[in-house]
Amino acid sequence: MAKINFGGIIEDVITREEFPLKKAQEVLKNEVVAVIGYGVQGPAQSLNMRDNGINVIVGQAPEFKADWDKAVKDGWVPGKTLFSVEEAAKKGTIIQYLVSDAAQRAIWPILKPCLNKGDALYFSHGFSITYKEQTGVIPPSDVDVILCAPKGSGTSVRRNFLAGAGINSSYAVFQDYTGRAKERVIALGIAIGSGYLFPTTFENEVYSDLTGERGVLMGALAGIMEAQYKVLRENGHSPSEAFNETVEELTQSLIRLVDENGMDWMYANCSATAQRGALDWLPKFREATLPVFRELYQRVKNGDETRRVLEKTGHPNYRADLDAELKQMRESEMWQAGQQVRNLRPKHK
């Protein structure tokens, strides 16, 4: 393991240099990796592994025709490399359980009997295991239970892989029956194209992930954008000006500077007026949002968020309700303005 200094805190991470693809291929040479679910993470992880020479099959319920057809389009062959969930799980020695959290609870009674002694049950989210009292996902004692969680969407996992880069991933071992669980999960992390791997636990992964999604990554980001846009519009600014100052400059300029060299570097490369104002207002926003984040983390830790997710996603009308919520967001003035602004961007030659 490489020891990396994160602001005075030393962490052990695993890089491609110390665990190259060739080593991962050797570890996995006698394995059949069955990727269960061809929705969000399934396509990216399975295609990356296939491109990296790993023996991969896909398990997907044929009745979900869109996902089945997508798998066929991506080159998975029915009866050879594409099977029903149950058939793929029986064939696999490593079962990557990549359906949604709600679906994991629903199909667990079908999947569990397909696990054989010495198999590995792989997750990319700690949800089902951490909240097993609510999900009912309790693995048998004679299998490895492992986790590799890319810190990005399936689209980003695939896109970065094709670009020769990688999404960083966390990894964890919940149950080591074979004595090879850690070796297996690290090899899988390399095979799916991770940039580097850092250790976690199933609990820490899901606590940080649920907090992040509801917070800075999605919920807080969208909420703050809506609030600033609303204030600008209330004070007479046009939709174009309000959107550009709220979203476009962030996504097309500033966040790229942060990505390159960090927040301080972004500040250093902005005007003195912007620097001073941002530094003065940063603590106000921090103190205003700290209570919200503390409440959010506690709700994640005590299972309240899990109960809400399972209740909402398990409702028969969930898909229609979700489409209605997303339609409302899409048709809001701010995001309609965003569509027009994106259309006006200069096209690459």
Mind listing the pLDDT tens digit for each residue in 121-162?
999 999 999 999 999 999 999 999 999 999 988 999 999 999
Q: Rounded to whole angstroms, how far apart are CA atoms 199 and 220?
A: 26
Hey, what domains does the chain have and what are their CATH numbers?
A: 2-200 (3.40.50.720), 215-344 (no CATH)
Interval 266-278: pLDDT, tens: 999 999 999 999 9
Indicate whether 349 pLDDT > 60: no
237 given a catalytic annotation: no
- The residues near 299 (Cβ < 8 Å, ≥ 6 apart) are 305
Which among 125, 237, 315, 348 is annotated as catalytic?
Answer: 125
Q: What does the pLDDT read at residue 5?
A: 75
User: What is the per-residue pLDDT for 111?
Assistant: 96
Mean pLDDT of the chain: 94
The rounded Cα 167 to chain-centroid distance in angstroms is 10
**Cα dihedral sign, 308-314-315-317:** positive
Instruction: Summarize pLDDT for 163-192 with one digit per residue, the tens.
Output: 988 889 999 999 999 999 999 999 999 999
Report the percentage of the chain scoring pLDDT > 70: 99
Tokens of 177: 């029956």
- List Cβ neighbours of 24 (8 Å cut-off, separation of 6 or more): 52, 54, 186, 187, 188, 190, 191
For 207-227, write each residue's pLDDT tens digit: 999 999 999 999 999 999 999
